[in-house]
Amino acid sequence: MRSAGMRMALSGVITLLAVSTAAADSAYFSVKGGAFLPSGKEHGTTNSLKSFDTGYAAEVAFGYRPESYAALELGTGVYSASGTVTDAVARSEKTLYGVPITLTAKAILELEKLELFAGAGAGYYFTFIDQKLSFANGGIAPVDESSHGSALGYHLVAGGDLKLSENFRLGADFKWFSVKPDLELTDAQNVKKSSSWDLGGTTVSLGFKYLY
């Protein structure tokens, strides 16, 4: 699964570079940042981000527009969030970091001063969780550990860009994504086990785009 994901990401890079060379006048570069809202806040399970607070996200992307109504975009970045759970048995402090490599297809509605878009795509996500675990029973040594995993994920995106000039855009977007890698962490019973984690969520971002 990991090798298949890496092949997909590499194929996306090669495809985008090849087409961008052929249509350089339609290429663009974007930088954006904003908030990451973890999934599972209401109905999440133990192996989700239910206890995590709102975090941050940042992304850079290269894209090209073969037509005025369509774009293909290759992006990467980072998202992070933290959360704490305390009960009668233990206290767990976790911090999540995710680094995705994504390929997105967008449909664009171009207006006089605005460009509205919606799209979908897939990507390969490299994820990490750092955990500090302490136990109410003083006889059990605290745990300070880190686990990493990777998996294919998918996403939906929608937003808009304000035309500041011929080459510059100011934009905002919403992206929902889902990814479920396997991670190995110690639980409140002091047992280390591997399980699938739901590490997706929603990002709300602002950014700039440069067309060249």
- Per residue in 114-124, pLDDT (tens digit) is 999 999 999 99
- Rounded to two decimals, the pTM is 0.85
Q: What value does the mean pLDDT take over residues 90-100?
A: 96
Q: Is the pLDDT of residue 3 over 80?
A: no
Burial class (CB in 10 A: 0-12, 13-18, 19+), 160: middle
Kindly indicate the confidence band of residue 76, based on its pLDDT and cuts at 50, 70 and 90: very high
Q: Assess if CATH 2.40.160.20 describes domain 2-211.
A: yes
Question: What is the C-alpha to C-alpha distance for residues 107 and 121, in angstroms, rounded to an integer?
Answer: 12
Average pLDDT over the chain reads 89
* pLDDT at residue number 75: 98
Do the Cβ atoms of 123 and 102 come closer than 8 Å?
A: yes
Kindly indicate the confidence band of residue 42, based on its pLDDT and cuts at 50, 70 and 90: low
Burial class (CB in 10 A: 0-12, 13-18, 19+), 31: middle
* pLDDT at residue number 138: 78
What size, in residues, is the chain? 212
Question: What is the C-alpha to C-alpha distance for residues 206 and 31, in angstroms, rounded to an integer?
Answer: 9
Burial class (CB in 10 A: 0-12, 13-18, 19+), 181: buried
Least confident of 7-21, 61-75, 96-110, 182-196: 7-21
Nearest to 32 by CA among 165, 166, 160, 200: 160
Q: What value does the mean pLDDT take over residues 19-30?
A: 65
Kindly indicate the confidence band of residue 24, based on its pLDDT and cuts at 50, 70 and 90: very low
Question: What is the C-alpha to C-alpha distance for residues 202 and 91, in angstroms, rounded to an integer?
Answer: 27
Q: Where are the domains positioned within the chain?
A: 2-211
Nearest to 70 by CA among 27, 31, 98, 105: 105
Q: Which residue has the tokens 């019973």?
A: 189
